[in-house]
Amino acid sequence: MIDFNLETTNAIVIGDHYKTGQLYYESRPQGPQILGDSDKEVIELARIAKKKMINACGTVAHLIYSKNTWELRIRD
Distance (Å, whole) CA 50 – CA 55: 9
pTM: 0.75
Strand pairing partners for 30?
23
The predicted structure's pLDDT at residue 76: 80
Quote the pLDDT of residue 31: 96
pLDDT along the chain (76 residues), means of 10: 51 73 97 95 97 97 96 93
Residue 1 is predicted with a pLDDT of 46
pLDDT at residue 19, rounded to an integer = 94
Q: In whole angstroms, what is the distance from residue 72 CA to residue 20 CA?
A: 10
